[in-house]
Amino acid sequence: MLIVITAGLLFDRRELIITIVLSLLAVAGLIGAENAGWLPPPDYRVTFTQWVTIAVILALGGSLT
pLDDT digits (tens, 9 = 90+) for 4-42: 778 887 888 888 888 889 999 999 999 999 999 999 998
The answer to pTM > 0.85 is: no
Contact 19, 11 (CB under 8 A): yes
Alpha-carbon distance of 64 to 8, in angstroms, equals 11
Residue 43: per-residue pLDDT: 86
Query: What is the helix (H) or strand (E) element at residue 50, kind and residue range?
Result: helix 48-64
Residue 25: per-residue pLDDT: 96
Alpha-carbon distance of 31 to 41, in angstroms, equals 14
